[in-house]
A and B are shown apart, each in its own frame.
Chain A
Amino acid sequence: MPLDAIPVVAVPPGLRAGELSGNAPALLREIAEMVRRLLSEGETSAIDLQALPLTPADLEWLREQLGEGEIAVTLNADGESSLNETACPGVWWVTHRNPKGAVVSEFLEVAFVPELVKAHQDDVVIGLEHLELLISDLS
């Protein structure tokens, strides 16, 4: 008997891949609130998309609603990560993948620039040392 002949639904309707659970629209209001806080207090925040009961269809819907912005950042660190601005500036769709390409975590980050994109002070210091080494090699 083929597997699909067994009449068992492991994932209930409303949580199946192709169906909307109705949980996504509420997120738009939360994001709007987060953006307001960013504007008034300069406070950055994030939503862990994997901690919420969202179906692939919900995520797709959310992605469509938020649209694509002008900036797409790719980070190569233990697998590829993408930090893409949505059509709403200040709202970033952050997806972390492992070296095999599987999504390990996914966030909506509200910030002027995502934290990961900024260079850390200590790393800049190391970069400067490297530059000075390059310059000293010139002479």
Chain B
Amino acid sequence: MQGPLIETLARQGVTRRTFMKFCATLASAMALPPSAGRAMAEAMAAAPAASKRPSVIWLPFQECTGCTESITRSHSPTLEGLIFDVISLDYQETLMAAAGHQAEEALHAAMAANDGKYLLIVDGSIPLGLDGAYSCIAGKSNLETLKEVAKGAAAIVAMGSCAAYGGLPHANPNPTGAVSVSDIIKDKPIINIPGCPPIPTVITGVLAHFLTFGSLPELDKHGRPKAFYGETIHDRCYRRPFYDQGKFAKTFDDQGARNGWCLFELGCKGPVTYNACATVKWNGGTSWPVESGHGCLGCSEPDFWDAGGFYKALSMPADPLKLAAKAAVVGAAAGVAVSFVNRGKKSAAKSAHETTTLADLEK
């Protein structure tokens, strides 16, 4: 399998134009300018295909398997599938045929054979409470396993909000003492792909980037690839014009909701959430939460479970300290968030006093 990637693909019946078309579509999905598609195609086509399929080890820790569910539902499998023919997934408990001792043997064989070169994917948080007894595989705590496997990894992909930030297990009061991958591993490049779960295209796009360029894409301050997490949900939202016009749904079945107005006052976290849902959408581009009439939960941001309530408007005056903390967390967006606060404050205060529906939802 030596030679440029394009030759490897050609042997599998993939022409250059098919590949360029794939890159153009991938760039569009990644919200990159159209010119990026061509640049990507050129760089990827010329990238040397490895003499051996790069080894990928996928460790599931304290998680719900939602991230695996998401990636196995990637909707344009033909070419992404081919890209994935280029890797060797050596350990993935849910997908692998082996079990028990055989599975653990496969893990250790892959680690020994590809020392320093394999890509480690982690989904789920790592519980530190009770010496890690809350989640164990093959008699070892997740903490032990992570440290052992991370040692020989070229890079680590923290898949989903649990691996990236601790996620749901980390939510207050965090009974298992769950932490993220980056809380433990400090000496390896780590890329966070948060989301609960992350969008399949984002997962495959990042992996394709690593496998073709051999490096991690540009990351933001939360360790997320800028290509997908560069803009807020709000900035790309098709309901944004209603926000600008001050037209808000006040409850889930009022006239505003029926008219498809902005969900800001119903607790939408779109303005402070960086993700690609508004453009890439879900289920093969069918729809996404806001299009289904529900505000964004902010699942790709750190500590989204504890961000003050899914149905509380970002500007809710009842809890100004928490909002200030949230605004500080989002850093670059803070200025934007503050202006939202001021503009939305009056109407949000009004609705908080008039409806009991939102308070009910919070219980």
Residues of A bordering B, CB below 8 Å: 7-15, 45-48, 50-51, 53, 75, 77-78, 81, 96, 98-99, 104-105, 107, 109, 115-116, 120, 122-123
Q: Is the CB of B260 within 8 A of A12?
A: yes
Can you show 7 pairs from A to B with CB atoms below 8 A apart? Answer: A10-B291, A12-B261, A48-B34, A78-B79, A96-B25, A99-B78, A116-B20
* A77 contacts B241, C-beta separation under 8 Å: no
Q: How many A-B residue pairs have CB under 8 A?
A: 77
Chain A residues, Cβ within 8 Å of B346? none
Asked if B18 contacts A14 (CB within 8 A), the reply is no
A47 touches B28 (CB 8 A): no
Q: Is the CB of A77 within 8 A of B25?
A: no
Task: List B contacts of A47 (CB < 8 A).
Answer: 34
> Does B305 count as interface, using CB distance less than 8 angstroms?
no
Give the contacting residue for A10; candidates B14, B29, B292; CB below 8 A: B292
Cβ-defined contact, B16 with A120, below 8 A: yes
- Measured between beta carbons, the chain B residues less than 8 angstroms from A14 are 241
Q: What B residues does A12 contact at CB under 8 A?
A: 239, 242, 259-261
> Which chain B residues lie closer than 8 Å to A45 at the CB level?
34-35
- Chain B residues with Cβ below 8 Å from A105 are 24-25, 28-29
Interface residues of B (CB under 8 A from A): 6, 14-18, 20-22, 24-25, 27-29, 31, 33-35, 38, 76, 78-79, 238-239, 241-242, 253, 257-261, 279, 291-293
Q: Which residues of A contact B28 (CB under 8 A)?
A: 48, 50-51, 105, 107
The minimal Cβ–Cβ distance linking A57 to chain B, given in whole angstroms, is 14
Instruction: Name which residue of chain A comes closest to B241, CB basis.
Output: A14
- Secondary structure at chain B's binding surface: helix, strand, loop or mixed? helix
**A-chain residues with CB within 8 Å of residue B38 when the two chains form the complex:** 115
Name the one of A46, A78, A109 contacting B21, with C-beta atoms under 8 angstroms.
Answer: A78
Question: Which residue of the partner chain, among B17, B35, B258, B292, contacts A9 with CB atoms under 8 Å?
Answer: B258
How far is the CB of A98 from the nearest CB of chain B, in Å?
A: 6
Given contacts A12-B259, A45-B34, 17 further A-B contacts (CB under 8 A): A8-B253, A10-B292, A10-B293, A11-B238, A11-B291, A14-B241, A48-B33, A75-B17, A78-B21, A78-B78, A78-B79, A96-B24, A99-B78, A105-B29, A107-B24, A109-B34, A116-B20
Query: Taking the nearest CB of chain A, how far is it from the CB of B187, in angstroms?
Result: 38
- Would you call A107 and B16 a contact (CB within 8 A)? no
Give, as a whole number of angstroms, the nearest-CB distance from A90 to chain B. 16
Contact across chains for B279 and A51 when beta carbons are under 8 A apart? yes
A9 to B259, CA, bound (A): 5
Q: Is the CB of A11 within 8 A of B260?
A: yes
Contacts of A7 in B (CB 8 A): 258
A102 to chain B, nearest CB (A): 8
Q: Are A8 and B257 in contact (CB under 8 A)?
A: yes
Q: Give, as a whole number of angstroms, the nearest-CB distance from A18 to chain B.
A: 15
Which A residues touch B17, using CB under 8 A?
Answer: 75, 77, 116
Q: Which residue of A lies closest to B25 (CB)?
A: A105
Q: For B35, list chain A residues within 8 Å (CB).
A: 45-46
The 5 closest A-B pairs by CB, nearest first: A12-B260, A46-B34, A77-B18, A105-B25, A105-B28
**Closest Cβ–Cβ distance, residue A135 to chain B (whole Å):** 23
Q: A12-B261, A14-B241 are in contact. Are A104 and B18 (CB under 8 A)?
A: no
| A48 vs B25: C-alpha distance when bound (angstroms) | 10
